[in-house]
Amino acid sequence: KSARVSFGSGSKGEEKDRKLIRYLMAHGHETPFEHTVFQFHVKCPIFVARQWFRHRWSSFNEISGRYTVFDEGEFYVPEKKRVKEKVNKQGSEVAAISDEEHAAFRARVEAESQRSVDAYKELLEQGTAKEVARIILPQNMYTEFYWTVNARALMNFLKLRCDVHAQYEIRVYAEAIRDMFFEKMPWTAAAYREIYLGEKEEAATPS
Amino acid sequence: KSARVSFGSGSKGEEKDRKLIRYLMAHGHETPFEHTVFQFHVKCPIFVARQWFRHRWSSFNEISGRYTVFDEGEFYVPEKKRVKEKVNKQGSEVAAISDEEHAAFRARVEAESQRSVDAYKELLEQGTAKEVARIILPQNMYTEFYWTVNARALMNFLKLRCDVHAQYEIRVYAEAIRDMFFEKMPWTAAAYREIYLGEKEEAATPS
Amino acid sequence: KSARVSFGSGSKGEEKDRKLIRYLMAHGHETPFEHTVFQFHVKCPIFVARQWFRHRWSSFNEISGRYTVFDEGEFYVPEKKRVKEKVNKQGSEVAAISDEEHAAFRARVEAESQRSVDAYKELLEQGTAKEVARIILPQNMYTEFYWTVNARALMNFLKLRCDVHAQYEIRVYAEAIRDMFFEKMPWTAAAYREIYLGEKEEAATPS
Amino acid sequence: KSARVSFGSGSKGEEKDRKLIRYLMAHGHETPFEHTVFQFHVKCPIFVARQWFRHRWSSFNEISGRYTVFDEGEFYVPEKKRVKEKVNKQGSEVAAISDEEHAAFRARVEAESQRSVDAYKELLEQGTAKEVARIILPQNMYTEFYWTVNARALMNFLKLRCDVHAQYEIRVYAEAIRDMFFEKMPWTAAAYREIYLGEKEEAATPS
């Protein structure tokens, strides 16, 4: 509807409106997509939140470690050990090791994280201010935030964070966000899949 | 609710929530107000739109003079002639003249605007492209746009455009926007009126 | 240099640095380009400035028609009459008419603009406030502004405004800006030309 | 100079220019301050960087823990133990304890941080990818980034982060930034100190 206002008219039916959406996206006219706004309540590890917050054209409000005590066991432990990727040297891939070895990796991460949390709690008990004690907490602690973002900025987030070069952990979140977005804005999603993902229109909108 | 997430808790009742809103605003913690988003469909003269579009932390989609023909008589004529203000030299104030003189002023503005519109239409009839012909149209022509803006950016708009230094024409729009905002977000409005306008809380929320 | 900081190292020589720039641009990692900032002093018609100011990730300060009197003859007149484009229906192309007919078109635009400027001056002489009188001035009046913009936002501006779909008048400005940009940041320019314009690296950086 | 363009004139001498700067700031006309751009290379603990990166109207490029190995001992340890503040309940204040007790606090933070770093290094030696191993590193690890910011956004940063409610660690950085800013833009600084800090002009610019 915001797109149509540039042409001074109302909707012209599904087929024409979908065509307009595709045209706008293909030619970089992205402002009409800013008028649809999404809001998410996200819980994720701090190192994921750090990547997320780099997306400046959106609004964040995070739970603050200055005022809130972190709960026991509230940290993220990867399912599998990952090693340096062979092809794309900057990423990582699941190590070709036994289940026991993966379990040993998990146990190590869990033990180290728990030790840090224990030390944090001890510091609190000794009267240390929360904003000081939390500095020794690891970056896999969970945090929570509200995220308000328009469809244009959301698509930009998806382009970068669903990408194979994104770290696995944020990619999982981005893919979940993407699925919700595709469900809520199917016409825009179809154009997005066609133009940015190279998928055929037919595949994107099965009857 | 977005504000509460920083403290890791839900609502704590009206009184405490209103207090929190006031506290956040008074201390410049404005991000929680970004999670409420407003959308307006505005019709205003181009010279007003030019001032409006300077507010970059928001989204605009305007009807385009490149594709749309402007309708006859679609221009703004001030009710009264205004002269240079005596105190605040940069503004203007209603001239101390007779009703007839005001009417003469209006007639002049109307005649000049109409002549420009007539010339524009003639250029179009001679086959001139719309995007070229419209360059001779005056700045009091009406335009239309969608405006999507969050409550924080909206309050910033109001601070600048409801101000006595703002040009009369945009101030009238800003005051109408302000009334809608006050109605939709009464608690935030009460804090806004108290902190920025110096009004007493009692006056702002009569029982 | 800003790009290198992500990898915790200094420059690695021209060849590797150029490769890094190309890699970053090709993969949508555009933030390193934000650390180089350009500043322009622009004089252009109001209808061009209106399109320019839509680029929100940059800073503008414009001469204000509320405080400044526009000078005589300070308006833009197109060299040639343009008509609706046949292929791309929304644009325009130079009309296939005689030089005399183009001259007649120019004379008409000039006469209408001058008439509006004369009426504006008369209103001022009758004591009308500047901010009121200027509303009847046409959109081809020249205005001036300072524009501060980083290289990332600048490239986005160029992508949209050097495009064949952009209106001729802003395209001329965008092309001039582009040439200055290419001269100041030759490595980034080479990557830009290769990735966005499809030019070969060889062509872009002749020995 | 950007401010003067709104009035269509050049500089009018120091006294008048300073007056203009004060007027603009006092009336919320902050865009002219966007045309002066600063660039900083910052090294600070991650929990400080997390607060810093919330300032979206600026550009950041950070060293990435996905690609870079953190060096030994590269973490921050507070000089003094801080406890919950009595007056402003959300902050902290130096504990009223002996030097030995402060030293014991420091030793504890150092030991915990070092253990985490040791575990991180061990994970790396076992082939764990850098982007995975770093998730157990504490938030007092140092990171580095480039920060490009205009004077308007910089002043907004200072208002929030030099404030008594800001956490001590970022306040120390903000005060250092402020001193550099005051030195580079003395006229703007004088207006800033007068309007936002309530200092007298005389005090701000001693002869």
DSSP characters over B36-63: SEEEEEEEEEHHHHHHHTT--SSEEEE-
In this structure, what are the phi and psi dihedrals at residue C145, rounded to the nearest 5 degrees?
-155, 160
Say if the Cβ atoms of B131 and C92 lie within 8 Å: yes
Total H helices, total E strands in chain A? 9, 5
Distance of alpha carbon A159 from the chain centroid: 11
Å between B46 CA and nearest CA of chain D: 19
Task: Give the nearest partner residue to C78 out of B54, B84, B132, using CB atoms.
Answer: B132
What are the b/e assignments for A72-95, b being 16+ CB within 10 Å? eeebbbbebbbbbeeeeeebbeeb
Cα distance between residue A192 and residue A197, in whole Å? 7
Question: Any idea which fold D37-184 has?
Answer: Gyrase A; domain 2 (3.30.1360)
C54 has a chain A CB within 8 A of its CB: yes
DSSP type of residue A164: T
Q: Where are the domains of chain B?
A: 37-184
pLDDT number for residue B206: 37
Q: Is D39 helix (H, G, I), strand (E, B) or coil?
A: strand
Residue of chain A whose Cα is closest to the Cα of C6: A90
Cα distance between residue A144 and residue A63, in whole Å? 6
In 3D, which of A132, A147, A176, A179 has the Cα closest to residue A54? Answer: A147
* Contact call for residues C53 and C138 (beta carbons, < 8 A): no
Q: What is the pLDDT of residues B59-92, one digit of tens each?
A: 999 987 777 777 665 899 999 999 988 776 667 9
Question: D106: how many CB neighbours lie within 10 A of its CB?
Answer: 15
Cα distance between residue A164 and residue C187, in whole Å? 27
Alpha carbon distances (Å) from A49 to A42, A147, B31: 9, 11, 17
Would the pLDDT of C79 be above 50? yes
**Mean pLDDT, residues D162-189 taken together:** 93
pLDDT number for residue B177: 96
Catalytic residue among C22, C134, C152, C161: C161
Chains that touch C (3 or more CB pairs under 8 A): A, B, D
Cα distance between residue B93 and residue B111, in whole Å? 23
A50 is catalytic: no
In this structure, what are the phi and psi dihedrals at residue B125, rounded to the nearest 5 degrees?
-65, -30
pLDDT number for residue C50: 95
* Contact call for residues D147 and C34 (beta carbons, < 8 A): no
Cα distance between residue C95 and residue C101, in whole Å? 9
* Contact call for residues B51 and B171 (beta carbons, < 8 A): no
Say if the Cβ atoms of A145 and B5 lie within 8 Å: yes
D residues 94-153 closer than 8 Å to A (CB): 95, 105, 108-109, 112-113, 115-116, 119, 123, 126-132, 134-140
Cα distance between residue B54 and residue D31, in whole Å? 10
Please, which residues bridge with residue A60 across strands? A147
Alpha carbon distances (Å) from D196 to A2, B102, D14, D159, D190: 40, 44, 22, 8, 10
Higher pLDDT, C77 or A28: C77
DSSP type of residue A39: E
The separation between the first and the last C-alpha atoms of chain A, rounded to the nearest angstrom, is: 24
Catalytic residue among B161, B171, B178, B193: B161
C165 has a chain B CB within 8 A of its CB: no
Cα distance between residue D145 and residue D130, in whole Å? 19
C89 has a chain A CB within 8 A of its CB: no
In 3D, which of B1, B44, B43 has the Cα closest to residue B20? Answer: B1
Mutate to test the interface with D, among C2, C34, C53 (most CBs of D within 10 A): C2
**Mean pLDDT, residues B94-120 taken together:** 95
B60 has a chain A CB within 8 A of its CB: yes
Would the pLDDT of D48 be above 80? yes
- Of the pLDDT bands very low, low, confident and very high (cuts 50, 70, 90), residue D103 is very high
Question: A187: how many CB neighbours lie within 10 A of its CB?
Answer: 15
Q: One digit per residue, pLDDT tens: chain A, 207 residues?
A: 555 555 455 566 788 888 888 888 888 888 999 999 999 999 999 999 999 999 999 999 998 777 777 765 589 999 999 998 877 666 799 999 999 999 999 999 999 999 999 999 999 999 999 999 999 999 999 999 999 999 999 999 999 999 988 999 999 999 999 999 999 999 998 998 888 887 755 443 433
A residues 31-50 closer than 8 Å to B (CB): 31-32, 34-35, 37, 39, 41
B2 has a chain D CB within 8 A of its CB: no
Say if the Cβ atoms of D28 and B159 lie within 8 Å: yes
What are the b/e assignments for B102-129, b being 16+ CB within 10 Å? beebeebbeebbebbbebbeebbeeebb
* Contact call for residues A170 and A48 (beta carbons, < 8 A): yes
Sequence-distant (≥ 6) Cβ neighbours of residue A48 within 8 angstroms: A167, A169, A170, A173
Å between C108 CA and nearest CA of chain D: 29
Would the pLDDT of B12 be above 80? no
pTM of the predicted protein model: 0.88
Catalytic residue among A134, A152, A161, A193: A161
* Contact call for residues B147 and B51 (beta carbons, < 8 A): no
Does residue C148 come out as left (phi exceeding 0), alpha (psi in the -120 to 50 range) or beta?
beta
Cα distance between residue C36 and residue C148, in whole Å? 11
Q: Is the ipTM of this complex over 0.85?
A: yes
Q: Is D71 helix (H, G, I), strand (E, B) or coil?
A: coil
pLDDT number for residue A64: 79
Six-digit token string for C103: 């001259």
Å between B31 CA and nearest CA of chain D: 10
Residue of chain D whose Cα is closest to the Cα of C5: D63
